[in-house]
Structure 1
Amino acid sequence: MGCDGGTIPKRHELVKGPKKVEKVDKSAELVARWNYCALTQEKLRRPIVSCDLGRLYNKDAIIEYLLDKSAERPNIEVAVHIRAIKDVKELNLTDNPAWEGDRTNTKGGRYEELHRAHFICPVVGLEMNGKHKFCYLQTCGCVFSERALREVKTEICHKCGDPFKDSDIVILNGSKEEIEKLRERMEEKRAKSKAGKKSKRCKAAETVSQSEASKENPGSSKTGPADQKPAAANGTGEASSSAEPGPSGSLSKSAKPGAAAGSKRPVPRPEERSETYKSLFTTHSSAKRSKDQTSNWVTHTPYHF
């Protein structure tokens, strides 16, 4: 068999069995999900945002992804549901006073505690390292542990005081079942917003069509039985009745020629005009000059009567 020294191969060396399934280290998975961006796999740094499914991202990574979606990036399937910047919420996190940061291990000569979290729950003080469930509110973006919301039941945020509902709570880095529930809620929310936008567009189109129709037919919308009564009281009703055609089909002689069908006030005849009305014109006797006021000479533009 080609084995020098008289060695005899065993069965497991000759027969290849099924490959063992590689198991992911849970501790390494927790560190990756809670300390690194889900899109770029870089360390999380402020400002940190989260989507409707509870994944954590760096805000600059999401902005770069939205500006250029054609670029090839790893793990791009985790951000397919993000269509605009409004689909993510910036998180209001609370710093952990016991976290020393990366400054103490710049040269790599010191053990770095990966399970020491950068952020904590502001109510009960639990570290956000993956061992405890954390969630955030879509109204204000404040982050709390699930234990804090369960023990201190209230409808007001513990940190900023804004009101919220149970539907505004999103679990961060939840299980597969929790992610499916969040996905269903996200689809329902988007369907409702889409239906609301369609109804608003339909109402706007109806108002525009009604305004155009009223502009085309202004008389039909304004005139009515209520407008005809005051017209009759002003005397136009008598003029219209007197202008009705007789048996021969011609207008009667009593109809006033100056009174129009749509006019509110008829134009008076010359013999019916009052003295006050006549005094407005220069042809009236009050506007004429007497002999004492007239001059003895005549100019090119005389103003005398």
Structure 2
Amino acid sequence: MGCDGGTIPRRDELVRTKKKPEQKDKTSELAFKWKHCAISQEALTKPIVACELGRLYKKESVLEFLLDRSKFDIAAQFDHLRGLKDIKELNLTDVPEKRSHHAEKGDSRSDSIIADFICPVVGLEMSGKHRFCFLWSCGCVMSERALREVKSETCHKCGKQMREEDIVLLNGSDEEVAEMRQKMEQRREQAKLAKKAKKAQKHKLKAAETEGASSGLTAQQTNKDSPSETHITESTESRPIKQPKRDTGSALHKSLTNGKSGHGTDDKKSKGKKLCIQDDPKTSKTFKSLFTSSEAARNQQQPNWITYNPLYY
């Protein structure tokens, strides 16, 4: 059985036992979460963004995911990413000392413990050993210890107003992610209600403006109509009443008036009347003889029965 030579076999070599599941290295798992993108698993490079569930992404990979989700196998885990409004660019503070990730002596290997960013208030390294969070309003990243110890209503880095609802924990546990998902849904519902309220206010303002314009038009029309009516009444009142003409009733008066008017008309007719050609002293006798009003034409014989022309002999 291969036990010659004084070797002593162990129990697991003789009896089949259940294999224990492989345990993940916590340090390597934390380093992967804090230094790699959650979608593309690539190393994080600026600009770095985070979602409302506290996961870290490369902005380029998020844009690729939003453009074409079919390229990624784990698209169902990131269904909460609908657009650029669902992510926030992080305002990180770099480590002041430049340290290399490779060992100076011996075999070269990457050191996952070294962090690239630190907390601006306390100075803790953002490597996964300490809990970090960011503010959704401004995107500033700081440690949870700094928020707990240094309490204030404004951000410690940029000075903007801070609320408890805006605090999002980075790379939290499954229970904490479930709580943050509930907060995310509540925040989105509030945003929808605020949009509906704004739309309702806009519609009310438009309706009030239209009503005001219509009322102004009606008032103008009434104002225009009322002075015209008053003007009509005033004009009718100011006009003198026509009295009927008096009848003289006397024929003598009528005859006198008719005689006066007749003399006047005769004078006017005589003035406007043209002189006859036969009475004009300037015209010659030959020219006057051409017309039927001349004396020669008057003394002429009767017209011929054939032509009925008085000038025909």
Instruction: Report the TM range for the smaller structure's normalisation.
Output: 0.5 to 0.7
CA distance in 2, matches of 1:96, 1:114: 15
**Which residues of 2 match residues 55-204 of structure 1 at below 5 A?**
55-71=55-71, 73-102=72-101, 104=102, 109-204=107-202
Partner of 2:38: 38
Partner of 2:217: 222
Provide the TM-score with structure 2 as the length reference.
0.62
Structure 1 unaligned blocks of 5 or more: 243-253, 257-267, 269-305
CA distance in 2, matches of 1:241, 1:101: 102
Does structure 1 retain, via aligned residues, the 8 Å contact 2:103–2:111? Answer: no
Counterpart residue type for residue 152 of structure 1: V
CA distance in 1, matches of 2:41, 2:121: 29
Change in Cα spacing, 1:149 to 1:213, as seen in structure 2 (3 Å) is closer
- Classify the secondary structure of the residue corresponding to 1:70: helix
Larger radius of gyration: 2
Partner of 2:248: none
Q: Can you list the C-alpha shifts for 1:242-280, whole angstroms capped at 9, x where unaligned? A: 9xxxxxxxxxxx699xxxxxxxxxxx9xxxxxxxxxxxx
CA RMSD of aligned residues (A): 3.9
Structure 2 unaligned blocks of 5 or more: 240-313
**Which residues of 2 match residues 273-292 of structure 1 at below 5 A?**
none
CA distance in 1, matches of 2:158, 2:63: 27
Counterpart residue type for residue 110 of structure 1: S
Change in Cα spacing, 1:173 to 1:5, as seen in structure 2 (3 Å) is closer
Q: Can you list the C-alpha shifts for 1:6-62, whole angstroms capped at 9, x where unaligned? A: 9xx999789866553333221221111111111111111111000001000011100
Change in Cα spacing, 1:20 to 1:211, as seen in structure 2 (3 Å) is same
Change in Cα spacing, 1:229 to 1:98, as seen in structure 2 (3 Å) is closer
Change in Cα spacing, 1:18 to 1:204, as seen in structure 2 (3 Å) is farther
Counterpart residue type for residue 117 of structure 1: A
CA distance in 2, matches of 1:210, 1:166: 39
Provide the TM-score with structure 1 as the length reference.
0.64
Structure richer in helix, relative to its length: 2
Change in Cα spacing, 1:237 to 1:66, as seen in structure 2 (3 Å) is same
Change in Cα spacing, 1:10 to 1:92, as seen in structure 2 (3 Å) is closer
Does structure 2 retain, via aligned residues, the 8 Å contact 1:38–1:57? Answer: yes
Does structure 1 retain, via aligned residues, the 8 Å contact 2:120–2:142? Answer: yes
Structure 1 residue 70: Cα displacement: 2.9
Does structure 2 retain, via aligned residues, the 8 Å contact 1:99–1:117? Answer: no
